[in-house]
Structure 1
Amino acid sequence: MDEVIAGWARQVAEAELGDALPRRWAHTQGVAARAIEVGRVLGKDGDLLAAAATLHDVGYAPRLAVTGFHPLDGARFLRDEHGADERLVRLVANHSFALLEAEERGLREDLVAEFPLLEETLLVDALIYCDMMTTPDGGRTTAEERVAEILGRYGDDSVVGRFIRRAAPEIFAAVGRVEEALAAQPR
């Protein structure tokens, strides 16, 4: 991985999450570790995946939580305060089917207008895989267990609960596509 990008992403994420939200920081570190493993199927985009994985939840930081929708808040922060790469910002904004949650929150138009979804399916799927295969404490899990954990934490009738139920089939499909790509890669 490009050490400059990796170091910058880690520095930014740790500064925003490390002390304020240590459990979220632990999750972030686990997601970043998955990204390093998965990056081999993406070639040159492996570095971009690792940076996006490290920064995907930065919008949870209390000082950045303007809308309360962490993908949008994080992407705006990366764009506005850091002038981050457009593809990186768009990955953060749209990670793990954020568009569906944006609909639940009445923020779909904002998200689409500012940060259109990348059309690079495997790259987008890889970030979903890394996020959904990592527990809140940074450990490994399955996508099914992760969806169940999210539902248990937020509740079925919450905004997040409604979103994750809608997104679950797509999450499982994305994870399956990444697992197929990983299985097809020579070791």
Structure 2
Amino acid sequence: MNRPFEIKNRKITVFRKLIMMLCMVGLALLAGSCKIYSFSSAKLSEDLKTITIQNFVMNTAGGPANLTLTFTEKLKEYYQRNSNLKLKPVDGDLYLEGSIVGYELTPVGATASDKAAQNRLTIRVEVRFVNTKNEDESFEKEFSFYQDFSQEQTLTQVESALVPKILDQLVLNIFNDTAAQW
């Protein structure tokens, strides 16, 4: 009589082990496919101690009223957190200034009925960077980044979620081109 119970118990045990192995394999695959990047600080020349970041200006129509202030503050905060540079109001070893030159909404991905499947919000920033210790690293360059959103939504509905993401990526791209020595 105990025989069927033992067989049933073994089947459950085997089934549990199989489930646990599948879960472990799944977790291992998931962990292996996730790439975690850590960037603690920039490796800057020893003679670079300070940075001056001027308030960016708005040279385009559209966008939230506080866009330039938000962007400038994000830049300052990122440099302070991710480098050993001290923020200085004037005459920094590094100098950043610029303007927001584009805040554009464009349709992307047409559907069969010639309607946009998605809309794209793009922000473009023109940056002037000066390295007073090494003029060869100075540049003027335009950075841009975008986020897409469903045609079912209006810009007003998604703007407060999309703009911070776009600005964060722009800040990261500017930082990488100015302070991160890859």
So what's the TM-score if we normalise by structure 1?
0.26
Give the structure with the larger helix fraction.
1
Give the structure with the larger strand fraction.
2
Larger RCO (alpha carbons 8 Å, 6+ apart): 1
So what's the TM-score if we normalise by structure 2?
0.26
Name which one, 1 or 2, has greater alpha-carbon Rg: 2
